[in-house]
A = this chain, B = another copy of it.
Amino acid sequence: MASDKPMRQQVEEYISTLQDEIVNAFEVLDPSAPKFRRDAWVRPQGGRGVSCVFAVPHPTSPAAGQQPSNATTVLEKAGVNISIVHGSLPPAAVRQMRADHGSLQGLDADAKGALPFFAAGISLVIHPRNPHAPTVHANYRYFEIADKADTTGSGSAPSEPANTQKPLAWWFGGGSDLTPSYLYEPDAVHFHATLRDAAAPHGAALYPVFKQWCDEYFYLPHRGEARGIGGIFFDDLCDEDHKTFAGFGEVDGEPADKGRPRSPEAILRMVKDLGNAFVPSYIPILKQRTNTPHTAAERRWQLLRRGRYVEFNLVYDRGTRFGLLTPGARIESVLMSLPEEARWEYYSDMGGPGTREGEVVEVLQKPKAWLQ
């Protein structure tokens, strides 16, 4: 049943509910840990957000008073953020944003002019403390670009932009992917299967397309490695033909770009099912691995893998680079994805063939079909 609320509002309500649910799931899992810090913020140029961030204060921090100095929390650092922002996009940010978006062709001719935009999304990165528990990321987002005649935001309150005009372009993007330091094949299978099952009611092509897209997107060419063991990724999903789907060929005898959700309402329904799958896709894995005994060498390997995570996010991730280029972006929220600590070694002796560390390197170098 279609809602008669504007899509902007439907997305805003959903991501807000999902954020609460996810933060709550982590707090319930580890009741003796400090609570997530919840920061509501307003963007002076238009919009608002809520950042929910977990960290244990460093022993030297004044805030550490009540904490045990040797942290035993399940999480090491985590952020679950939402933002609902609008304003004018500078050309560099438009370029960062529109990588594959066909319907924005008209922009090139006028690349110096800023365009009104609306963007709402939830973005989370969870770095657990135990080296055997994987890092996870998820992000679901909705964009609108208006043409210049749009009066979005002018004269209205920051969180209530004018929304009376059909957008010049709109699209959804998102995904979720897992980054273990140590490979546990059942975890990879569980994570992928949960996402596949959530996508299935919305089209048979979705999981196969999104899985491959994830392997391609979360890739560090300079390392010849994927960031993690994959999951799902999609972008530029709207009512137009989509070149990634078109290029995928057929699934179950039907072109992949047929039979996928196309209307805003249908795509939002899919996004909700994927977003709701986050907790069941990840929390059982975290529960199972969080008490695995580990050595100093395994902690060292985890920090080395976190170095690669930093490399991907700062060098390649479009969301992060979009944030860095957006004037007035809340940098502390954009960079909450970075781990508490990371390590770099010149030609590390860890990760060679035949070792537990090498097992994960092998699947990063050659993405695997986890579900057959």
Interface residues of A (CB under 8 A from B): 37, 51, 53, 55, 57-63, 77, 79, 221-223, 295-297, 300, 303, 307, 310-311, 314-315, 321, 323-324, 329, 331-332, 334-336, 338-347, 349-350
Residues of A contacting B: mostly: mixed
Q: In the bound complex, what is the Cα–Cα distance between A329 and B51 (angstroms)?
A: 39
Given contacts A77-B344, A341-B341, 10 further A-B contacts (CB under 8 A): A53-B346, A60-B295, A60-B296, A63-B349, A222-B323, A310-B342, A315-B315, A332-B346, A340-B345, A342-B343
Contact partners of A335 in chain B: CB under 8 A: 311, 344
Do B55 and A331 touch (CB < 8 A)? no
Given known pairs A60-B300, A315-B314, the reply for A341 and B340 (CB within 8 Å) is no
Given known pairs A344-B339, A346-B79, the reply for A314 and B310 (CB within 8 Å) is yes
Do B310 and A346 touch (CB < 8 A)? no
Do A340 and B344 touch (CB < 8 A)? yes
Contact partners of A296 in chain B: CB under 8 A: 59-60
Do B345 and A55 touch (CB < 8 A)? yes
Q: In the bound complex, what is the Cα–Cα distance between A347 and B332 (angstroms)?
A: 7
Contact partners of A59 in chain B: CB under 8 A: 296
Q: Name the 9 nearest CB pairs between A and B, nearest first.
A: A60-B297, A314-B314, A338-B344, A53-B346, A222-B324, A341-B343, A222-B331, A60-B296, A314-B315
